[in-house]
Amino acid sequence: MINVSAAMAGEFTFSAAEITAEIRQMGPNPLRTNGARAQQRNHEQAEHILGGEDVDND
């Protein structure tokens, strides 16, 4: 988290580039999967962990 004013464009640019580099170094999110089959599997795993309780995320 950074705190810069509108007059600090140079510091903002440097901080944004630094944060972007750190995120790219971390790589892709290991918890994110794509596709309907993966979503179903994730849902089943969550139900198992939660003891079969139906969870509403709204």
Residue 55 is assigned to a structural domain of this protein: no
pTM of the shown model: 0.47
Total domains, the chain: 1
Residue-wise pLDDT tens digits, 40-57:
777 788 888 887 655 555
Residue 56 is assigned to a structural domain of this protein: no
User: Can you list the alpha helix ranges (DSSP code H) found in the chain?
Assistant: 9-26, 36-49
Residue 1 is assigned to a structural domain of this protein: no
Residue 54 is assigned to a structural domain of this protein: no
The amino acid present at 6, given as its one-letter code, is A
From 23, 1, 26, select the one nearest 12 (Cα to Cα). 1
Residue-wise pLDDT tens digits, 14-42:
999 999 999 999 988 777 766 667 777 77
Range of the domain at 43: 9-49
pLDDT-derived band at 12, boundaries 50, 70, 90: very high
